[in-house]
Amino acid sequence: MIQFDNVSKRYPGSDEILKNISFNIDAGEFVFITGHSGAGKSTLLKL
C-alpha cells in the first residue's frame, strides 16, 4: 500500500507545487496520473 496524507512540496524560491495531497493505493491497484505540463506529476512520482 502507498499512502499520502496531506503531503505538500515546495521548491526553494517558488510557490507550492503540490498542496495537501492525500490518497491511498492498495496492493494490486493500477493508477494513472494526468495533468498539464508543470502540474506536479513528476514531482509526485519522485516522492
Q: What is the pLDDT along the chain (47 residues), one digit of tens a residue?
A: 999 999 999 999 988 889 999 999 999 999 999 999 988 899 999 99
| DSSP symbol at 23 | E
Tell me what pLDDT residue 39 has. 87
SS3 of residue 4 by DSSP: strand
Tell me what pLDDT residue 14 has. 86
What does pTM read for this prediction?
0.72
What is the sign, positive or negative, of the torsion defined by CA atoms of 24, 27, 32, 38? positive
